[in-house]
A and B are shown apart, each in its own frame.
Chain A
Amino acid sequence: MAGEIYKRPIIFAIAALIAVSVGTVVTTIYPMFTPQMHPKLENLKPYTPLQLVGRDVYMSEGCHYCHTQTVRPLKTEVMRYGEYSKAGEFAYDHPFLWGSKRTGPDLARIGGKYPDAWHYAHFEDPKQFFADSNMPKYGWLKNHPIDPAQAEARMKALGFPYTPEDIEALKGKNKLDALVAYMQVLGTAVAKKPQVTGMQAILERKNPLSGDANAIALGKKLYETNCAACHGADGKGGIGPNVVDNIWLDKEGDVTDGFIYFVIAKGTTAGMQINGRVGKGGMPAYDTMFDEEKIWSMTAYIRSLQQK
């Protein structure tokens, strides 16, 4: 009878094993053998040795406990971070690093968002960029050189392709270099497509808030918290270019207010053409963060800086 089972420990254990195996097989083991668990985007490449070492640093330091790496297909999330994550982006991720908590922002689309210099400076002291940040400083990683032989062994373990030159190039590099290289490749298998439809008209527009004292004051506040760390408190540049010298996207000559609006709103994706000027990348888009009034206010403030 069924009651017997409660008198036989081994049979009971087998019954328990069967009970736990059903869900295990259906939801975990069976899917492993289906192609939907092994998708790969066409543009996805295995990690280079430098990127892989960077990924190992990311795991060692537990970055994934505060930063997720998966953008959910929710409207505000796509606005904040970019295109939602695709299953085929993670084929080389052993293990996945999607995380479970966002104490800091998602990093799935961080690659290419900022220039390398931004990352170095931010790892050195996050508070320079975000005064209220609680992220620990990671500048100390630059004192830890990469061991090329170790990196090579790890590439072999994963079966990723590499050349002897790749390994040679690791000499003299440190763990911070690796971490920055990893940041820059994150999310790049999905092409960035800035939404610039309807922006052409803006390029010709004059700033409706031009010279408005209130707008300049608001613009100053926004500039100080969001722009100054890269473009300098006086606008004379740093990680990002000078914004008061009349050279825009490497080309001298004045631009319209609308042009400045455009760059703040949409950032500079590499190769993007704006009124005969070409972007190099490195400036993130701010239009998901700031409404029109704020962007025009920043434009007004930048103009006021130029006049100083």
Chain B
Amino acid sequence: MNDYRYDNQTVVGFIASSIVWGVIGILAGIWASIQLWAPELNIPPYFTYGRLRVVHTNILAFGLVLGALMGIFYYITMRLAKTPLAFPKLARVTLYLFNIGIFLGLVTLLGGYTQALEYAEFEWPLDIAVVILWVLFAIVIFGTLLKRKEKQMYISLWYIIATIVTIAVIYIINNLSIPAELFKSYHLFAGVNSANVQWWYGHNAVGSELTMAVLAVFYYFLPKSTGLPIYSHRLSIIAFWSLVFAYLWTGAHHLVYTPLPDWIQTVGIAFTMFLIAPSWGSVVNGYYTIGADWSKMRTNYLTKFFLLGITFYGLQTIQGPTQGLRIVNQLVHYTDWVVGHVHMGAMGWDAMVIVAAIYYIIPKIYKTEIYSVKLANAHFWLVLIGQLIYSITMWISGLQQGVLWKAVNPDGSLQYTFMETVAKIYPYWQIRTVGGIIFTIGMLIFIYNIYMTVRKGKANLATSQA
């Protein structure tokens, strides 16, 4: 057995915190989804759709996903470096700072303090806190890497390093603003330029946090939990560098047909198409890894989380570039289609892989087995079905919106008023809420299972010490 005094407390702290934020973020999402078809559930000033939506996106992206990832990255880095964290106290500080930051984020967003830039809504004092947090996090990770006992850095570490670097670059540049008051600032950039910087950030926030970072998790835990080695090392090298290089060119596909100069849109679209290659590099690697022994799907309950996760990643990275094409974009942009796309990635790929990692980590840390594989399987099916109901419903409604907006009468006048196009969408929005609730039930079962595993582990530990 390895006998490094790994700092598991911080890892568990991050995972537990991320779960708490996750519950808040998901409930905000369900509430907002109901408000879309039952507007009387808007309770001003704090709980209107306009404020809950931003709580939903930020608290899930930063509270749930980033929190879980920071914990998981500490876990992975210690083990791949075969050494404890370089600065365990500093790592603990990052945990506290993270929670204070997310809490203040939640409160200020509900209070209507926002930069009004998607996924960069936190006002400037919080941005400064986030940058400090990120620098401290980087110090712990790089400090640990520099004193590592394993010479070669495994694929996951490449993605961790790339995530740290990319988030630092995009977060700092897009959050440059003119402060007017404490908690009120204006984007340093204006108009078209503001749009270009924001969507370069917006797309790469997703590209680094929800793609590169989750690939780090995937490449570590897939072989760990199945015992199967990654299919091709060379493929992962090619996929890594082309992904990291190409991602930063693509933000303008969010601005197709806007007044942004055409050449930036076209370059963005072209690189978006190119991104299919490195994305599918990882998909192929994942499939061939599991394909070396399909019986793992039966014998190891975690395998299916990874398989479905990488499947949705594959679908996501085909669908995304397709949406970027002008001919498709003019139909689906601004509709529910894009909402379905985002949620397939978030609920199908990110959530699947991250929960699988947590299922692996928690029993390891508490030196026990998972409390219930049956419950884990129930969780899997519920989140899968919930996500499919959610995203497929949104694709149908999105296409319908796109078509209704364009429909014309024989004499050339528009066939539907905007209100008529909204009224037709209500049933889909209701079904979407149902999908979200099914997904949430799955996540609650997951939380219960993890909680019981921790309890079991602690009980075992107490008996062995007695």
Contact = CB atoms under 8 A, between A and B. Distances in A.
Q: Do A and B come from one complex?
A: yes
Contacts of B407: 76
Contacts of A140: 44-45
Interface string A145-164: 00000100110011000000
Contact of A98 (B161, B190, B195, B419): B195
Interface string B36-74: 110100101100111101100000000000000000000
A21 interface: yes
A28 B200 contact: yes
Nearest to A24: B248
A105 B334 CA distance: 10
A10 B409 CA distance: 63
B51 A20 contact: no
B50 A65 contact: yes
Contact of B161 (A13, A63, A90, A103): A13
Contacts of B117: 95
Nearest to A63: B50
A20 B166 contact: yes
Contacts of A20: 162, 165-166, 169, 244-245, 247-248
A256 B112 CA distance: 51
B146 A9 contact: yes
A95 B338 contact: no
A6 B165 contact: no
Contact of B419 (A10, A26, A96, A133): A133
B48 A94 contact: no
Contact of B48 (A61, A64, A96): A61
B192 A87 contact: yes
B161 A72 contact: no
A139 B242 CA distance: 52
B153 A6 contact: yes
Interface string B93-116: 000000000000000000011111
A303 B190 CA distance: 50
A120 interface: no
How many B residues touch the partner, as a band? 35 or more
Nearest to B121: A62
Interface stretch (A177-185, A204-212, A246-254, A287-295): A287-295
Interface string A259-302: 00000000000000000000000000001111110000000000
A194 interface: no
B189 interface: yes
A76 B39 contact: no
Interface stretch (B264-272, B314-322, B378-386): B264-272
Contact of A288 (B113, B247, B413): B413
A160 to B, nearest CB: 10
Given A93-B194, A292-B411, A70 B116 contact: no
A7 B153 contact: yes
A137 B419 contact: no
Interface residues of A, number: 82
B75 interface: no
A101 B414 contact: no
A9 B410 CA distance: 65
A74 B257 contact: yes
Most buried by B among A95, A133, A153, A289: A95
Interface in B187-204: 187-198, 200
Interface string A49-75: 000000010011111111010101110
B271 A291 contact: no
B178 A94 contact: yes
Contact of B192 (A63, A65, A90, A94): A90
Given A23-B271, A60-B113, A13 B181 contact: no
A86 B50 contact: no
Contacts of A17: 165, 169
Nearest to B116: A59
Contact of A80 (B39, B186, B414): B414
Contacts of B401: 102
A96 B249 contact: no
A130 to B, nearest CB: 5
Contact of B338 (A9, A27, A101): A101
Nearest to A157: B180
Interface in B328-343: 330, 334-335, 338-339
Interface stretch (A32-40, A111-119, A213-221): A32-40
B227 interface: no
A201 interface: no
A216 B254 CA distance: 46
Contact of A96 (B35, B195, B241): B195
A19 B248 CA distance: 9
A303 to B, nearest CB: 22
Interface in B114-168: 114-118, 142, 145-146, 151-153, 157-158, 161-162, 164-166
A16 interface: yes
B405 interface: yes
B184 interface: yes
A157 B177 CA distance: 10
A298 to B, nearest CB: 14
Given A288-B414, A289-B413, A19 B245 contact: yes
Given A133-B422, A289-B417, A16 B116 contact: no
Nearest to A101: B334
B246 interface: yes
A168 interface: no
A85 B158 contact: no
B262 to A, nearest CB: 10
A23 to B, nearest CB: 3
8 contacts: A37-B196, A80-B418, A87-B261, A89-B259, A94-B194, A95-B190, A134-B37, A153-B181
Closest 6 CB pairs of A and B: A62-B50, A90-B191, A23-B248, A95-B187, A23-B249, A60-B112
Interface of B: 35-37, 39, 42, 44-45, 48-51, 53-54, 112-118, 142, 145-146, 151-153, 157-158, 161-162, 164-166, 169-170, 173, 178-181, 184, 186-198, 200, 241, 244-252, 254-255, 257-261, 264, 267-268, 271, 330, 334-335, 338-339, 401, 405-411, 413-414, 417-419, 422-423, 426
Given A27-B264, A32-B189, A80-B414, 12 more contacts: A24-B170, A27-B252, A37-B196, A62-B114, A64-B116, A70-B259, A72-B330, A95-B116, A103-B422, A132-B419, A134-B39, A153-B181
Interface of A: 6-7, 9-10, 12-13, 16-17, 19-24, 26-28, 31-32, 36-39, 56, 59-66, 68, 70, 72-74, 76-77, 79-80, 85-87, 89-105, 130, 132-138, 140, 150, 153-154, 157-158, 226, 287-292
